Structures are given as C-alpha cells and as structure tokens.
Amino acid sequence: MAEVPIYKPTVAERPAFQQPLTVRATGEDMGAAIGRGMQGLAQGVQRASDNIADLNTLIAQADAKNALNEFTAWTTNAAYGDGGFLTLQGKAALDAYAEYDGKLRQARSEFSRNLSPAARAVYDQASTARVLSAQQSALVHKADAQKQFMVGTSTARQELLANEALLHAGNPAKMNAALALGVNELREQAALLGWDEHTTRMKVWDYESATLSNVALQIAQDDPIAAVEFLSEHSSRFTAIDGMNLVDKLAPMVADAAARDAVTMGSTPLFAPGSAADLIANFEGLSFAAYNDPATDENGQQVGPNIYRAGFGSNTVTRADGSVVEVNPSTVVTEADAKRDLARRLETEFIPRAIEAVGVEAWARLDGMTQNVLASLTYNYGSLPAPVARAVVTGDRTAIAAAIEGLAGHNGGINRERRLKEAALVRNGLGAGVQFSPRVEAVLSALPADMSVQVREAAADEIGRENAARAAERRAASAIAKETLALGIVTGNVTSEQAILQHPDLDDGDKVTLINSLRSEQGATAEARAYVSARAAGENRALNPYSSDDRSLADKAYELEMSTVPPEQRDTVSMEWVRDTGMIPSPMIAAVRQGLNSNDLGAVAAAMEMSAKLSADAPMAVGHLDNASEIEQAAAQYAAMVDGKGWSVEEAARFVIDQRDPKNRANADLLKSAWTEAAKGLGIGDVLRAFGDNILPGGPVAGLTPLQQEAVLADYLSAAEAAFKGPAQGDVGIARSMALAEIKRTYGVSTVSGQEVVMPFPPEMLYPPVGGSHDYIRDMAMADVRQVAPDAQNVMLTAVPETAQDVRSGKPPRYALTFVRPDGVIDQVPGLFVVDTDQLQQLATLDTEERRLRFEIERAYKSALSDRPMDFTRTYIERMSGGLLGPPTPAEVVPGFADLDAQLTDIGLRRDALLGRPGSLGNAVPMVDPADAEAAWLEQQSRTFGMMGGAPR
C-alpha cells in the first residue's frame, strides 16, 4: 500500500554561545522533504488505483468462469445425460432437435443473468465456442438420426412388402408386384447408404430369396408339391444357402404328401430285403430238389454241359457239419442247407469279387441297398459286369441303375424283370416299385437324388403302415364278429347257422368253429340256463363242490350269467355269485391264476386282491379247489404286505414278480444259511433307535404288550430278510438300513397311551393336529372307553387290517380300541374306533376362535406397553411396592380383559364337553410370558428415557 510521508521539522535553536550566527539555510531546513513526500503521495495514489482495476478484472473473470463451468455442465448433461439429445436415436432425435437448440440458447443466457457487465463480456466470448461446439454436435447427430430414420423406415417398408408378398402366396401376380416394390425400396436404401452396385445386387438377391423362401413355405402348408414346383420355377432367385435350407424344410412335408399320393395310387413296393442273401433268395426262389441249368446262347440253345443246381440256384450244398458237396441230379436240400450255402458263398466268393471289381473305397461309399444289388448281380453272373463296375466308381446311383438296366437284354432277356427291379432298387432304395401320380413323380425327379430316395422310401413305409392298418382292421373286424357271435351263442341270441355262414368278416375256419360251438351250446347249456333262472328266482339248489357234474354246471351257469354283465361290474358280481353258490367257477379261478403268474403288474395286483377277497368271503370254496395253495398263498401275501405293511397293491405285486425271477430265487437260496447267522445281530433295539433314544427313561417302546412287540420285530425281520436275500446281496448293514426304511413307511410313534409307542399307522400321522397337538385323539378314545368301562385307567389304539384299508382308500383310519382296567387286565372295546370328523371340525373351529382371542389379548397388551409407557411403568412400580414380582398382567392393563377371559373360559368348557373331559375352568391363562413382557418393558424404557443407569453423555 502507498504510504504518505509525514513532515518532521529539522530547524532547531542553536545552542547559546556554541556557534557563530549565520544567515545560510539548507533545502531540508526550508521544506524540501515535504515536497518529496507530496510527490510520493501522488505516486502511491496512482498505484492504488491500478491495483483496484486489476482486482475488478480478476473478479469478473472468476465470475465468468464459474458461469461458464455451470453452462458447460448443463450442456454435457443435456447432450449425454438421461434422455440427453445425443443419446436419442432416429425419429426421437429429429423431434427433439428444435427443443434442444432452443434450450441451449436459453441456458446460455440464464447462466449470465446475474453477471456484471465485465463478467458477462468475458462469459459471452468464452461460451460462444461452447455453444458452437454443442450446435455442431447436435447438427451432426441430427443428420445421422435423419439417415437412421430413413433407413429404418425403408427397412420397415421392405418387411411390410415382404409380408404382403407372403399374404399373396396363392396369387403370383400380386406376390410379384409386392416383391418388386420391396426391391425398389431396397435400391433406394442402397442409394441412401452409398452401396456400390455389387453390394446392392447381393442385397437384392438376399431379399428376394428370403421372401420367396417364406412364400414357398406358406404354399407348402396347403400343398407341399406345389411348393417344390414353386422352388423349381424360381430357382435362379434363391441363394444357394436359402435353396438348400428350403429343400431341407420341405422334405418331410413332401414325403408326407408323396406318401398320401402313393397310397391313393394303390401302389405296392417291390419288397424290402434286409440283406444280400434275402434279396438273392427272393429272386432265385427255393428248390429242394436238383434241376438242370446249363449255359445257353442268345437263342436259348444249350452251349455247355449239364449243370445241376439246388437251393437258391447254387451248384453246391453246405451241410450242417460244414462240408461242401456238389449238386447232382439226385441231390435234395433243406431250407437250412440252402441258406447256409448262400451265406457261405456270398462271404467267401461273390461279395469279395464285387469289391475287387470296384475297389474298396468305391464299395465303402455305397449305401447298403446298392451293395446288396451288386452282390445279387455278381451271384447271377459269377462276376460283376464291367459296365456296372465302371458306373460304381463314379458313385452316381443314377448311373449305376442305368448300367444295370443295360443288362436287361442279356441271355435273350431271360432275367429282364430281375434287372429292372435291381435297377429300381438302386435308384429308389426301398421305395422301388412305388407308383406316384405324374405330377408328384416330376417333383421327385427334380429333387436331389438322395432326397428323392428318402421320399420314396418314406412313401413305401407309409404304404406298409397303411396295408398293416387295413389288415389290422380286417383282423379286428373278424375278431369282433367272432366275439359277438360267440357271445350270441352263449346268451341264446344266435340260434341260426345261417347267421354265421353269411357273415362277411369271417373266414371259413371261423365259421366252422362257431357252428360247432352253436351246436354244442344248444345241447349243453340248457341245464345251465335253468340254473341261472332258478337263481334269479331264489330257487336254485345247493351245488356239491365234490361233484364234477355240479362243477361243470357251475362253470356253465357262471359264464352264461357273466356274459350279460359289464366288464367293470364283473368282479363285484362274481363275488356275489361265489357267496351265494359256495362255488368258485373254473373261468374265475383260471383268470386269477393267470393273473398271479403274469408279469404284468396290473394283472398280478388284481389277482392278489381277488385272492384275498375269495379267501375272506369263501374260505371253504377255496379249500375245495384243486391246488388251492396258490390262491391261499397270494391271499396271505396280500394280507402281510398290503394290510400289514401298508404297501400299495402295486408294490406288493412288484415284490411277487421280483421273487419269481430265477436269478433272485437262486440268490435267495444261496443266502439262506447266511441269513440265519445275520439275523442274530438284528433286534427290536434297531427299530427303537430308528424312532428315538430308548436308552434313557421315557424313550419309545415297541408296543405295550409282548404280543405287539413280537409283531413289530416280525415285520422288521421279514423286511430285513427280503432285503438281505434280494437287493442287499448278503450285506447285513444294507439289509438293516433297507428294513428300517421299510418299517418307517408304515410305523411311527404314537403317544395316545400316554407313552411313546412304536406302532403301524400311528394316528398322529394320519389325523391333523388341533392347536398344535394330537391330545384330542386320546381324549376321544378315553371318552369312548368310559362308555363301556367308566373306571378304565388307560387306553391304546392298535392297527388292524381295516386300518390299512382305510389309509389306502383315503378314509379316516379305524383302530382297535384297547383299555386297561384298574386291576391291570387289558380289554378291548367292541367294534373299531375312528375319530369323529364332525368333532374334529368343531375342535378346529374352537382352536381358531381361541387363537383369535389370545392374539387380541397379546396385541392389546403390547399396545398398552408401547402407547402408555408411563401407566405401564406406574403399574409396574406399584406391583413392586406391593411385593409382587414381574410386570403387570394382561388383566391389569388390557381394556375389556374380563370379557375376553370369559370367552376363553367358555371355549375351554366347550372343548372339555366335546371331548368328554371333566368340567374345568377352561384355558383362560394369560397369553403373555412374564419374562417376555419384562424384557419388552425394559426395552421400552430404554427407548423412552435413554439407557438405564443414567442419562446418556
């Protein structure tokens, strides 16, 4: 800063008598310093003025820079931010350009609004470059967007016109017009994008090819043959790749259409040989006796010695011992001899000759049918004719077929038909001989050779399926006719032999059989009809199971009666018939035995179930059967596995089938002695450990009686033995694991008796809990017992066969209800116990009501805690001062608690009455745990008053 000098006078009195007087004085004495000070002051003022001007300039520049920075940030965001102009594409960018440019100008002014003139001047100059740069970028982007928009519009129009061509697939004029417009649009796009002529031409080709491919596929939906004709007509407009792809896509559709055409034409394939030997055998035919086959000239005159052949035209015979002998006039061969000789000669003579004639590589390239034909030719000629060998080297199947056709005139044309068939087999594969309409034939000829063969073979397959279907229909019609007439004979609806002789679906053999049946039935069933009528009137006599005549009568009567019963009702009606007559008809028992010995799972299951029913409902009738043990064993297996173990009938049937497997039976026999030793290490403890800890007191027990424990152990050992001798293959550890897994399928732990008991089908697994508990089952059981024995001390439920039956059928399971009298005697309630589903529903409803009330109490209690902390705290302190521990109870803080508590009490009393329990005060117990309430209260205090123990610092 400039500093103004202060004048300080230097004139002083001269000391007395020290110096002489003089009139001279210096400049300093006269004020020169003052002048210099004034001059310095002026210079300082100038320097201060310059400094102030520099400061204002810096401030203006800083303000301008700040505004420019803000404007720059704005332009960056407006260009590249979310929805920024430079991020927009196509029409969106075109539509946004004007708005973006206007906002750019407006923003430039906005950011300079509060600047000083000097700062604005600097800002205007600096922001001009920023604005020009942003506008230039925007113009370039707009131009690109314009171009992109035009290209997109053009592309969309091309697609639209391609779709229009597709819509007019059936109208060539409109289709070509739409396609031409699309091509013109593509050329305009090419000009816009600056493509060269070659690129444009390729793009046009791709566009036409793709569009025409879609048109062809559209045509193929209605007429695949027309699609191939379309492809041929426009072949030059398809690219190579599109053409190949289109052919691949059309091939299966053309094959279907061609097959339908061949079936319509009624053609029949030549034959379908599986090997060269099959083909040769078909051509040559089989001759069991020798015949003379000498060489002849073109006129058929013998030119050589006699040559005798047999079998499939061979001059040798290969016997079963491998010996080979020449055929002579007295030779006789079997079919096996002939096949053996043909196979030997093909392997050792003719196929090697054919391969040698064409070379190994050329032979390997041939398909199997062509190889078979060449073997046939070599067999017939003795060697492969040279024209055919030359054609094979080319690999062209058409050329090979033509060469074979060229041999048709040899030997006076004696083998002409054979040569033509061989050529057809080479040209058309297994489709040889299939006839098509001229239109379809022309299309197949235009396809690639391999594809044509595939289509022809597919047509041959379809013809085969069609013929098989027709034959099956004829057989089915014949079978239906036989069954209908046979039924009519049995029921008496068919009484005339003419009805059989004039039926169009029967052959002569069927007619003879049915007429004999009619004559036999008319004489043999009279007594059976009388018995059926008597049974319907309730007047039938008792039949003697030991009388062969009565057994025959029962069989006839049963068949007669069953013939009028729908199949789905026959089992039920059959059981009624058995219970009524005391006889099991032979057809019925035969069906059961057939089912038991079947390998069909459903048949075995049905037979096992029927065996169980017969043994239960007609045990005496079963006992009178010959070899009744099979039925009794099946019934016992059903009872053990289905009723005892809870298996499904299908699982039991699978087990029976597996046990019949010779391998399984042999393994089981080998492991018998090993099982005896292994079983010593298995015991009831295995089962108990599988269901819990039975070492400490209170663990589960295997039944409450020795008999129940023995039943558990027997089931366990039975399952272990089956596993040990079967899948476990003698490994006792695996057998133990598998047996326990099997036990767990049926067994579980029940506490109905008040103790954990391992039992099959525990009710806790089959009935739902109420209020998270199954205690209601014990209460219901106890209520039932006390109707019989009011002083009963305990109850238990025991699974019976009906339990398994109910589980399988989805019904509430029934149990035997056992109880203990005061003297310790165990007794059983008559009938079976089942949970009353109506009572169960009422219990569930009470539980829902109780949970709702308890939730309401808890919610009100927590509300009191959070909404009225001071009241809650005051009550808490009052309780403590009164010597009461713990937080306030719901009764002290919940509004209307007395009414809610009364409702809970009422629910408890209703539950007790429903379960037959002695009257009580219900279950009106506070639902809030005091410990939880206290912890919640302390947490509330912490939130309200800060951490306990002092104010927070």
Mean pLDDT of 523-547: 72
Q: How far is CA 214 from the centre of its chain?
A: 33
pLDDT score recorded for residue 343: 92
- Is residue 691 scored above 50 in pLDDT? yes
Helices (runs of H) and strands (runs of E) counted in the chain? 41, 9
- Is residue 719 scored above 80 in pLDDT? yes
Q: Which residue has the higher pLDDT, 183 or 942?
A: 183
pLDDT score recorded for residue 943: 47
Q: What percent of the chain has pLDDT over 90?
A: 5
Only one residue has tokens 């098989």, namely 468
Tokens of 232: 């041929």
pLDDT score recorded for residue 39: 62
Q: CB of 183 within 8 A of CB of 207?
A: yes
- Residue 385: pLDDT band by 50, 70, 90 thresholds? very high
- Residue 345: pLDDT band by 50, 70, 90 thresholds? very high
pLDDT score recorded for residue 507: 82
- Is residue 16 scored above 50 in pLDDT? no
- Is residue 409 scored above 90 in pLDDT? no
pLDDT score recorded for residue 390: 92
pLDDT score recorded for residue 634: 78
Mean pLDDT of 535-547: 70
Q: Which residue has the higher pLDDT, 727 or 376?
A: 376
pLDDT score recorded for residue 886: 61
Among 137-141, 435-439, 568-572, 665-669, the range scoring the smallest mean pLDDT is 665-669
pLDDT score recorded for residue 191: 81
pLDDT score recorded for residue 19: 47
pLDDT score recorded for residue 273: 65
pLDDT score recorded for residue 521: 65
Burial annotation 25-54 (CB, 10 A radius, 16+ → b, else e): eeeeeeeebeeebeeeeeeeeeeeeeeeee
**Predicted TM-score (pTM) of this structure:** 0.36
Tens of pLDDT, residue by residue over 923-953, are 444 445 555 555 555 555 444 444 333 333 3
pLDDT score recorded for residue 718: 85
Q: How far is CA 682 from the centre of its chain?
A: 42
* Phi–psi pair at 437, nearest 5 degrees: -70, 155
Q: What percent of the chain has pLDDT over 70?
A: 78
pLDDT score recorded for residue 411: 80
Q: Which residue has the higher pLDDT, 100 or 419?
A: 419
Tens of pLDDT, residue by residue over 17-50, are 444 444 455 555 555 555 565 565 556 656 655 6
Among 159-173, 254-268, 395-409, 641-655, the range scoring the smallest mean pLDDT is 254-268
Among 732-746, 747-761, 924-938, the range scoring the smallest mean pLDDT is 924-938
User: What is the 8-class DSSP label of residue 384?
Assistant: -
Tens of pLDDT, residue by residue over 417-465, are 888 888 878 877 765 666 677 887 777 777 776 677 777 767 666 666 6
Coil vs helix vs strand at 309: strand
Looking at the DSSP bridge assignments, the partners of residue 798 are 816
pLDDT score recorded for residue 268: 64
Closest CA to 839 of 945, 901, 768, 920: 768
Q: CB of 268 within 8 A of CB of 463?
A: yes
Tokens of 482: 């036989």
Tokens of 219: 């045509």
Among 67-71, 549-553, 671-675, 868-872, the range scoring the smallest mean pLDDT is 868-872
Q: Which residue has the higher pLDDT, 401 or 154?
A: 401
Mean pLDDT of 352-363: 90
**For the chain, what is the mean pLDDT?**
78
Only one residue has tokens 């803080």, namely 893
- Is residue 12 scored above 70 in pLDDT? no
pLDDT score recorded for residue 297: 65
Determine the Cα–Cα distance for residues 246 and 216; give it in Å rounded to an integer: 8
Determine the Cα–Cα distance for residues 711 and 717; give it in Å rounded to an integer: 10
Q: Cβ-count burial of 322 within 10 angstroms (0-12 exposed, 13-18 middle, 19+ buried)? A: exposed
Q: CB of 584 within 8 A of CB of 625?
A: yes
Enumerate residues 6+ apart whose C-beta is below 8 A from 751: 757, 764, 774, 778
Tens of pLDDT, residue by residue over 609-665, are 888 888 777 776 776 676 667 787 777 778 777 876 677 888 888 887 877 666 666
Determine the Cα–Cα distance for residues 859 and 79; give it in Å rounded to an integer: 57
Q: Which residue has the higher pLDDT, 469 or 249?
A: 249
Determine the Cα–Cα distance for residues 756 and 199; give it in Å rounded to an integer: 88
Q: Cβ-count burial of 476 within 10 angstroms (0-12 exposed, 13-18 middle, 19+ buried)? A: exposed
Q: Which residue has the higher pLDDT, 277 or 928?
A: 277
pLDDT score recorded for residue 13: 47
- Is residue 344 scored above 90 in pLDDT? yes
Mean pLDDT of 269-276: 68
Tens of pLDDT, residue by residue over 493-510, are 777 778 788 788 888 888
Closest CA to 834 of 763, 936, 732, 765: 763
Closest CA to 452 of 401, 404, 405: 401
Residue type present at position 901 = D
pLDDT score recorded for residue 871: 64
DSSP notation for 814-882? PBEEEEE-TTS-EEE-SS-B---HHHHHHHHHHHHHHHHHHHHHHHHHHHHHHH-HHHHHHHHHHHHHT
Residue type present at position 777 = I
Mean pLDDT of 781-803: 87
Q: Which residue has the higher pLDDT, 145 or 141?
A: 141
Tens of pLDDT, residue by residue over 849-886, are 888 888 888 888 777 766 666 666 667 676 666 665 56
